[in-house]
Amino acid sequence: MVQVTTFLLVLSLALVASGLSARKCVLTGQWTNDLGSNMTIGALNGKGEFSGSYHTAVTATTNKIQISPLQGSQHSTNQKSQPTFGFTVNWRFSDSVTVFTGQCFVDEDGREILKTMWLLRSRVNSIKDDWKATMVGINVFTRLHSRE
């Protein structure tokens, strides 16, 4: 009896774990990051391309922050549950562009998380200033509203 109970416990744990890992992480929707910036990613087309908007909470300029467009693509539109992706934000309020790359994960609690790394390129007045034109960083995004 103990062996049967142990077997059933192990089987049920395996089924629960496989159900969590099988949950697909979906880029479409509203996201917020660790700095309080928000973005909306629209539906993917058949090629895995998407567009959306980004409202940053941080800036190095004194210009008024404006919602800016983003364009991107997901690596695969097939059944991969935790896809890689990339997107570009063309800032409407400054002479700069940021590219993000990352992966969409489902954590142990079933929450979707975007782990990203970014490069921000700002315009400089001369090639002598090129050394200070690019910044790099990371952001972690969580879904702003549940898909359920």
10 within domain boundaries: no
Predicted pLDDT of residue 79:
56
Among the listed residues 14, 89, 11, 12, the one whose alpha carbon sits nearest the alpha carbon of residue 50? 89
More confident residue, 55 or 22: 55
CATH value at residue 104: 2.40.128.30
5 within domain boundaries: no
Residues linked to residue 117 through DSSP beta bridges, in sequence order = 101, 138
Q: CB of 55 within 8 A of CB of 39?
A: yes
Give the integer Cα–Cα distance in Å for 39 and 9: 42
Write out the two tokens for 125.
């007045």
Q: In the chain, pLDDT over 90 holds for what percent of residues?
A: 64
- Residue type (1 letter), 27: L
- Residue type (1 letter), 109: D
116 within domain boundaries: yes
pTM greater than 0.95: no
14 within domain boundaries: no
- Residue type (1 letter), 62: T
**Structurally, how many domains does the chain consist of?**
1
Give the integer Cα–Cα distance in Å for 116 and 103: 7
Give the mean pLDDT of 13-27.
62
pLDDT in tens, 121-144: 999 999 999 999 999 999 999 998
pLDDT in tens, 64-90: 888 999 999 998 655 568 899 999 999
Pairing of strands 96-106, 49-55: unpaired
Give the mean pLDDT of 96-116.
95
- pLDDT over 90 at 16, yes or no: no
94 within domain boundaries: yes
112 within domain boundaries: yes
Predicted pLDDT of residue 128:
97
Pairing of strands 49-55, 68-74: antiparallel
11 within domain boundaries: no
Give the mean pLDDT of 107-120.
94
Domain that holds residue 88: 25-143
Q: Burial, 52: exposed, middle or buried (Cβ in 10 Å; 0-12, 13-18, 19+)?
A: buried
17 within domain boundaries: no
